[in-house]
Amino acid sequence: MSGTLTRHRLTRHRLTRKRGPAAWLTLTALVVVTAGVLIPFALIALNAFKPPAQYSAHGPLSFPDGFYTGGIQEFWDTADFGRALWNSVLISGSVCVLAVLLSILSAYALGIGRVKGRTWILGAFLIANFLPQEGLVYPLYDLAKEAGLYDTQLAVIIIFTVIQAAFGTYLLSSVLGTFPRELLEAARMDGAGRARILWRVVVPVSRPTLGVLLVFFFIWTWNEFFLPLVFLVSNQNQTVPVALGTLQGQHIMNPLTTSGAALLGVVPTIIFFLIFQRTMTRGVTVGSIK
Amino acid sequence: MAETPIPVLQRRRSGAATRGAGAGAGAYLTYLLPAVVLFTVVIAVPLVMNVYTSFTDWTGVGPRQWAGLANYRQLWHDSEFWASMWHTLALVAAMAVVPTVLGLLMAAALFDVIAKRFSPRVASVLRACIYLPQVLPIIVAAIVWSWILDPQYGALNVALRDVGLGFLAHDLLGDPHTALLTVMAVLIWFQLGYPVVIFMAALQRTDPALSEAAEIDGATWRQRLWRVTVPQIRPEIYVVLLTCTVASLRTFGWIYALTSGGPGVATQVPSYYSYQSFFTDLDVGYGSTIATVMTLIIVAVSVVFLWVQRRHAG
C-alpha cells in the first residue's frame, strides 16, 4: 500500500519536473508564435522616430540612425491629435461613469429586487449588447438630427452609456444575485430604506466588480469606431480612432506619418493596459468563472 | 469592441428567490425605470424603425415610399450581398473557430508544460504578449497592418526583397485572390489572445487530480486534453465561441481601414455594405434591409448559443 503510494508520488514528481525534448519543442513553438504576434509592435517602434531620408533609402527594416520626431509632429498637427485625445477621454470617461451608475440601479432591481420577468429583461439586455450597430445607426442618426444632437459628443455619450449599461446590468445582476441576504436583512432591521441600502451596503460591498466594469467600459468606449464615425463628422469632435480612421480613409497618410500615427494610437492603450493590467486580467475572467 | 465576457447564468437558490420576491419586488421597479426609458429610446425604437425602413424606399430625406418586400427580393438576387455573407463565414472561421482551437492548444501548453516544467512567470509573460493586440483599437491595428502590407513601402514586401525572395513580394490586399485570406490572417493575429487568456483562467479552476490520474493511467496528452480538460472548461469555450462569432458578424473597422470591401467586392462584409448603402449610395431602405437581416442572424446565433449553454449548465 505505502509502496504504491510512494511510486505514485515518484511518478508524479518525475512527470511534472521533466523537461524532455517535447517540452523544449513546445516552448520554442510558443516563443516563435509570441514573437510573430509582437512583430507589428516592433515595426512601429523601429520606424516612428526614423529620419525620413533613412526611411526612403533603407526602408522600414533598417535600424534608425537618428532620433526624429518630425513624423509624429506632422501627424499630431494634421490630425489635431491633442484635441482627439481630449475628446476620447471626455467621452469614454463620461460613458464609463454613467454606464456604471445605470447598471447599479437596474442591477439592484433585477439582482436584489428580483423584479418579475427578470430573466427575459436580462436576456433582452444581453442581446441588445450584441446587436449589430448598423441595425441601429440610421434611426439613431435620424433621431439625433431631429433632437439637434447630431455631431455632438453628448449623442455618442448617451448611446454608449445605454449599450455598455446593457452589458453591465447583465453582469452585475448575476453578481448581485449571490449578494449575502443577511447583510440586507441586517440593514433593514436597522431601519435603512431601499436607497440607503443600495448606496451604503450594496455599492461598497460590490466595489471590486464595479471597478472592473468602469475600466472595461472606458476601454471599450475608447476603442469604438462605427457609431462615432457616423456621429462625429467635424474634426473638432472626433475621437482618436475616428480621427485616425478618417485620415486613413482619405489616403492622406504616407508611410512616414503612418508609423507615427500608429505609435500615437498604440501608446494610450498600452498605458491603459499597464495601469489596469491587474483589473483587466481579473475582469477578463470575471465573465467565465462561476 | 472586440469581445465581451459573459457570465454563465447563475442558478439561484430558490429559497433566496422567494424571500426576495416576497418582500415586495414591485417597489424596486423605480430603479429599473431609467434603464427602461433609455433602452427604449436608444435601442428598441431605432430597432423597430430600422425594420420598418427596410420595407420602404428612402433616400434619407423626404417621405418614405412603401415598397413591401421589394428590398428583400433585391437582396435575394444581389450577388454582392451573397458574397458578403460568404466572406462573413470566412471571418467566423478566422475570428472564432481558429482562435478557439489554437487558443485551447496554446493555453493547455502554457498551463501544462510551460508553467509546470519551466516557470509560471514565463507562461504569464508569453500570455501577456499574445494578448497585446487585443487592447488596441481595431482601427489602429488595421492602420498598422495596411502600412506593413503596403505593396511598395510595406515592411513585408521590403523584407522579402531584402532576403532575395523578391519574387514572393505581392500586393496581398490588392489582389482579389489573396485579399480575403490576408484579412483572415490579420484577424487571427488580433483575436488569438482572447481565448488564450480566458482558457488559461479556466484551466486554473480545473481539478489537477483528474488529469494526473489520467496521465498515470497512460492517457496521452491529446486524450487528456479532449476527454478530461475540455469537458471541464466547456462553459468558457461556449463564451469564447459566442462572443467571437458575434464579433466576426459585426466586423466593420477592419474592412473600413484595410480594404474598403475591395478589390471589387472581394472583402465586402454586410456591415460595410449597409454603411455604404446608408451614407454613400443614399439607399437607406436597402441598407436597412441588410442591417435587419444581420440583426436577425445575430439574435438567432445568440439565442441558440445561450440555450445550448443553459442546457449544458443544467
Domains, in order of start, for chain A: 16-71 (no CATH), 80-252 (1.10.3720.10)
Contact partners, residue A116, CB within 8 Å, separation at least 6: B21, B25
Q: Which of A136-150, A224-238, B21-35 has the lowest mean pLDDT?
A: B21-35
* B18/chain A closest Cα distance in angstroms: 9
Q: What pLDDT score does A36 carry? A: 93
Distance CA B272, CA B22 (A): 50
Q: Which residue of A has its CA nearest to B271?
A: A134
Q: What pLDDT score does A282 carry? A: 59
> What average pLDDT does this structure show over B21-27?
57
The CA-based dihedral angle spanning residues B292, B294, B300, B303, taken in that order and rounded to the nearest 10 degrees: -100
Position B117 in a domain: yes
* B165/chain A closest Cα distance in angstroms: 15
> What average pLDDT does this structure show over A266-276?
82
Asked whether B144 and B164 are in contact (CB, 8 A), the reply is no
Q: Is B291 on the interface with A (CB under 8 A)?
A: yes
- What pTM was computed for the model? 0.86
Q: What pLDDT score does A5 carry? A: 47
Q: What pLDDT score does A131 carry? A: 92
Distance CA A29, CA A162 (A): 43
Q: What pLDDT score does A286 carry? A: 52
Asked whether B206 and B232 are in contact (CB, 8 A), the reply is yes
Asked whether B35 and A165 are in contact (CB, 8 A), the reply is yes
Asked whether B203 and B111 are in contact (CB, 8 A), the reply is yes
> Which has the closest alpha carbon to A75: A252, A272, A267?
A252
| pLDDT tens digits for range A120-158 | 888 889 888 899 999 999 999 999 999 999 999 999 999
* B70/chain A closest Cα distance in angstroms: 19
> What average pLDDT does this structure show over B1-11?
45
Rounded to the nearest integer, the mean pLDDT of chain B is 86
Domain hosting residue B204, numbered range = 81-313
Residue A213 has pLDDT above 70, yes or no: yes
- pLDDT confidence band for B8 (50 / 70 / 90): very low
Q: Output phi, psi for B136, to 5 deg.
A: -75, 145
Rounded to the nearest integer, the mean pLDDT of chain A is 83
Total domain count, chain B? 1
| pLDDT tens digits for range A153-190 | 999 999 999 999 999 999 899 888 888 888 888 998 98
Highest mean pLDDT among A141-150, A176-185, A259-268, B6-15: A141-150
Q: Which residues of B touch A170 (CB under 8 A)?
A: 6-7
Q: Of chain A residues 250-269, which have a CB less than 8 A from chain B? A: 253, 255, 258-259, 261-262, 265-266, 269
| pLDDT tens digits for range B202-231 | 888 888 888 888 888 888 888 888 888 888
| pLDDT tens digits for range A244-255 | 888 877 766 676
Q: Is B287 on the interface with A (CB under 8 A)?
A: yes
Longest dimension (CA), chain B: 77
> What average pLDDT does this structure show over B289-299?
95
Position B10 in a domain: no
- pLDDT confidence band for A278 (50 / 70 / 90): low
Q: Is A155 on the interface with B (CB under 8 A)?
A: no
More confident residue, B93 or B264: B93
More confident residue, B101 or B166: B101
Position B307 in a domain: yes
- pLDDT confidence band for B239 (50 / 70 / 90): confident
Q: Residue B165 is which amino acid? A: L
| pLDDT tens digits for range A52-69 | 777 777 777 777 777 777
- pLDDT confidence band for B95 (50 / 70 / 90): very high
Residue A101 has pLDDT above 90, yes or no: yes
Instruction: Give the number of other CB atoms < 10 A from CB of residue B39.
Output: 23
- pLDDT confidence band for B1 (50 / 70 / 90): very low
- pLDDT confidence band for B16 (50 / 70 / 90): very low
Position B309 in a domain: yes
> What average pLDDT does this structure show over B260-271?
91
Residue B277 belongs to domain with CATH number: 1.10.3720.10
Q: Which residues of A touch B49 (CB under 8 A)?
A: 138-139, 142
Q: Residue B290 is which amino acid? A: I
Position B98 in a domain: yes
Instruction: Test B29 with A11 for CB contact under 8 angstroms.
Output: no
- pLDDT confidence band for B43 (50 / 70 / 90): very high
What is the DSSP secondary structure assignment for residue B27, as one 8-state letter?
Answer: G
Position B57 in a domain: no
Position B76 in a domain: no
Q: Residue A25 is which amino acid? A: L
Position B65 in a domain: no
Q: Is B304 on the interface with A (CB under 8 A)?
A: no
